[in-house]
Amino acid sequence: MSDLCVREVSLADTRPLRQAVLRPHETLEQLAAAEADPAFALGAFEHGALIAVGLISPDGEPGAWRVRGMATAADARGRGAGGAILAGLMRHARAHGATRVWCNARTPARAFYERAGLRTVSAEFEIADIGPHLVMAIELTR
């Protein structure tokens, strides 16, 4: 993946990929309505094509930031784009005072988040129309 470029993107730029991968049952307008404000978004590009996205924003107790909308195109999985996005989101949060990063991870993505250092901190729960999830988190050191 030598042509991988990760950079900040607009929330609007993330929506088509997030819809296709995560929420095909929702409209782009519904995705937009559920976004945190403000949120920071990153996109991973390969040969100029957007192949992965993710968002992060403050959420919860002071110092807590939540990762949301992590999505990688099916034909680009396993090549490091998602990991690069997550690492960039965590760097951004740390640079803006985060002491903890957490997410509602889809259960099948558990190993992906564990590779980044997050640990399961909840029992499995179901999100309607989406499937089983776990709360995962990592405490950030300064």
Q: Coil, strand or helix: which one is 137?
A: strand
Domain that holds residue 50: 4-139
Instruction: List the CATH number of the domain containing 108.
Output: 3.40.630.30
d(C-alpha 61, C-alpha 69), whole Å: 20
pTM for this prediction: 0.93
1 vs 9 pLDDT, higher one: 9
Listed in sequence order, the residues at least 6 apart from 80 whose beta carbon sits closer than 8 Å to its beta carbon are 1, 4
In the chain, the number of structural domains is 1
Of 2-6, 75-79, 112-116, the one with minimum mean pLDDT is 2-6
Of 1-5, 23-27, 50-54, 97-101, the one with minimum mean pLDDT is 1-5
- Give the number of other CB atoms < 10 A from CB of residue 70: 24
pLDDT one-digit tens code per residue, 33-64? 989 888 999 999 999 999 999 999 999 999 99
Do residues 73 and 51 touch, judged by C-beta distance below 8 A? yes
d(C-alpha 64, C-alpha 44), whole Å: 24
Cis peptide before 38 (omega within 30 of 0): yes
Mean pLDDT calculated for residue range 11-29: 94
Tell me the pLDDT band of 142, cut-offs 50, 70 and 90: low
Tell me the pLDDT band of 94, cut-offs 50, 70 and 90: very high
Mean pLDDT of the chain: 93
3 vs 112 pLDDT, higher one: 112
